Amino acid sequence: MIERRPFGELGGFNHGWLDTKHHFSFADYYDPLRMNWGALRVWNDDTIAPDTGFPLHPHADMEIVTYVREGAITHEDSMGNKGRTEAGDVQVMSAGTGIRHSEYNLEPGITRIFQIWIVPGHRGGTPSWGSRQFPKSDRSGQFVALASGMEGDDGALPIRTDARVLGATLKAGETVEYRLGADRYAYMVPASGQVEVNGVVLQACDGAAIHGEDSLRVTAREDAELVLVDTAG
């Protein structure tokens, strides 16, 4: 089963400094049928104006993955971590027992991010933050684990849950396959480009909620950049 969720039908609001779309219920957007997908709880598509951002605020018991699509995001938290994550790269914050952090776009132009929240496998634990560069050339024509709590994903940023966040870049006409498992839940969004996944066509920024599919076959109809989350139920 693959349910296409068109970008134009997502919840969200334009706050001026922040233009946000929600794939799942979040803040003032509530849809009882879109509360989660497996352990995936939040997928926000955020465009942040220059010299603005999210001031210091708290989180606990959540794995928060930020995929930067354009510009850069600057992070600072109550653990003393500071860092700037550029387009194509990823940062992960394991909120654990509790952490306060801020995220700002300090760039001269807009910053676009996917912010992805995944429910941890267990509550508590010491909070942590990390960021890594992931050259797009390394994920050309294949899915590469960017953040993962699954065995074997040694090059990925660690998260504390039975899930992985993957990225791929495809040239027009190129096909990539991913072995999912019919019992797993997946959610895929093309950050750019049009693709076809198991016969379902997705435009840029559409969501695809996937379950009961043993494997995924993704073909790019034009140059595309993909983000995929694979989680347990």
Percent of the chain past pLDDT 90, that is, above it, reads: 97
Question: C-alpha angle 220/223/228, rounded to 5°?
Answer: 60
CA atoms of 186 and 82, how far apart (whole Å): 31
Per DSSP, the residues of 166-194 read EEEEE-TT-EEEEE--TT-EEEEEEEES-
Query: Which of 226, 178, 179, 218 has its CA nearest to residue 201?
Result: 218
Per-residue model confidence as pLDDT tens digits over 103-137: 999 999 999 999 999 999 999 999 999 999 998 88
- Of the candidates 228, 126, 133, 132, the one whose C-alpha atom is nearest the C-alpha of residue 186 is 228
Averaged over 54-70, what is the pLDDT? 98
Q: Which domains does the chain have, with CATH numbers?
A: 8-134 (2.60.120.10), 137-231 (2.60.120.10)
pTM of the predicted structure, to 2 decimals: 0.97
% helix, strand, coil for the chain, step of 5: 5, 55, 40
| Tens digits of residue pLDDT in 197-228 | 999 999 999 999 999 999 999 999 999 999 99
Q: What's the pLDDT score for residue 137?
A: 85
